[in-house]
Structure 1
Amino acid sequence: MKVKDLEKLIGQVIEIIYEDKSGKITQRSVEVHGIKGDLLRATCLTTGGPRVFRTGSILAWRRAKARHAG
């Protein structure tokens, strides 16, 4: 994952496929707050908590689809 591709997404919600250090793969929606080095700082919208993701472990990402009430 190229950091410069993610920098333009600061403040936006994206969906990621992520592989953690134990090899577990998860999909989650996150709100991107910042990038520092190879770390992406975000709020996980699944748990509501702050998270830090290694950009090299993000296998895929896309902008989250807008959700409409009603």
Structure 2
Amino acid sequence: MRIAKYVGCVVDIIYEDRAGKLSKRRIKVQAINGLFVRAHCMAADAPRVFRIEGILAVDPVKHRAG
């Protein structure tokens, strides 16, 4: 998965944490640091760090004109 191409973009992800719990998150990708993605989580309105291997799907958010 090429999440690095989304640095600076807002994306929806499906994420599996270490305990195996799945969640859908809307994040703004800020940086890729080795095996981790640093992002701003829109739901929590807070910074978060995600393991790249835990990101199962990425869907860029399309901005509406207007």
Alignment TM-score, normalising by the size of structure 1: 0.86
In structure 2, the residue matched to 1:16 is: 13
Runs of 4+ in 1 over 6 A off after TM superposition: none
- Provide the alpha-carbon RMSD of the alignment: 1.3
Identity over aligned residues, as a percent? 41
TM-score (norm 2): 0.90
Q: Give 1:20's aligned amino acid.
A: D
Hey, what does 1:32 align to over in structure 2? 29
Q: Is 2:12–2:25's contact at 8 Å kept on the other side of the alignment?
A: yes
Paired with 2:50 and 2:31, the residues of 1 have a C-alpha distance of: 11
The number of residue pairs the alignment matches comes to: 66
